[in-house]
Amino acid sequence: MRIDIITIFPAFFDALDISLLGKARQTGLIDLQVHDLRDHTHDRHRTVDDTPYGGGAGMVMKPEPWGDALDAVLPQATDAAAGPAVDGPLVIFPSPAGVRFDQAMARELAAEEHLVFGCGRYEGIDQRVVDHYAARTRVRLVSLGDYVLNGGEVAVMAMIEAVGRLIPGVVGNPESLVEESHENGLLEYPSYTKPASWRDLEVPPVLLSGNHGAIAAWRHDQQLERTRRVRPDLLPEANAENTHSTRG
């Protein structure tokens, strides 16, 4: 997979040189490039923002640097008249106004060949940037959650981690990707390791029994109990109630 990130804070992504994603980059599993938006400005002060039309607080990111930066990482943008290319890169702009990112979207993005992330700052990016590229390729506004960050970088870091770990070969043991929170729609079961007793706290005896059927059943029960307690909205019956019957 190829990933391009456009940001005014390229150093923010130095963390992607380490750990599993750093190794995936070194081995060529992921071709990740970080681009400084200011390299696509043409004035002495490398200006990327200006005051908002219509007034209001804060600054808006100018469209010209974004146009130059995105043109540099996208294949020759198709003519708008042809409509958005369905097979080209997927361009993602983090935004509080976006579709909520979740594990299902992470799995979807992990199947893409080329992702381009545009990190906004200030009050956001001139809307014409989104509109221009949405007419030529696939563009998605994505929210990390219902809270406000100062820019897109944290959201992009989280998405790249969630997506990158799903790419075959990035995580050593793919089995470890299966029994995780949200993989089967439920929260994960609690985990324990040695010592069997720690500060008078014991490991649940079933986990020491060697009875794999009983262990699997206990773990599933723990998933259900934890999901009911912490995230009842994830339970199948909660979703079943939300689907309106067609029988009137």
Interface region with ligand JCZ, contact rule CB under 6 A, candidates 71-79, 94-102, 206-214, 218-226: 94-102
From candidates 10, 94, 118, 164, binder to ligand JCZ by CB under 6 A: 94
Q: Is 141 annotated as a binding residue?
A: no
From candidates 95, 137, 223, 227, binder to ligand JCZ by CB under 6 A: 95
**In the complex, least distance from residue 201 CB atom to ligand JCZ, rounded to whole angstroms:** 37
Whether the CB-CB separation of 74 and 124 falls below 8 Å is answered with: no
E-strand stretches of 43-188: 49-50, 60-61, 90-100, 114-118, 138-143
From candidates 78, 151, 181, 188, binder to ligand JCZ by CB under 6 A: 151
**In the complex, least distance from residue 53 CB atom to ligand JCZ, rounded to whole angstroms:** 17
Whose tokens are 């770990």? That residue is 165
Q: How far apart are CA 108 and CA 121, in angstroms?
A: 26
The contacts of residue 137 (CB under 8 Å, 6+ apart) are: 74, 77, 78, 84, 85, 88, 89, 90, 91
From candidates 52, 84, 96, 185, binder to ligand JCZ by CB under 6 A: 96
**In the complex, least distance from residue 123 CB atom to ligand JCZ, rounded to whole angstroms:** 7
From the list 137, 126, 151, the residue with the least C-alpha distance to 49 is 126
Residue 160 φ/ψ, nearest 5 degrees: -65, -35
Whether the CB-CB separation of 130 and 93 falls below 8 Å is answered with: yes
Q: Is 166 annotated as a binding residue?
A: no
**In the complex, least distance from residue 17 CB atom to ligand JCZ, rounded to whole angstroms:** 23
- Interface positions with ligand JCZ (CB under 6 A): 94-96, 120-121, 124, 143-145, 147-152, 155
Residue stretches of the annotated binding site for S-adenosyl-L-methionine: 120, 144-149
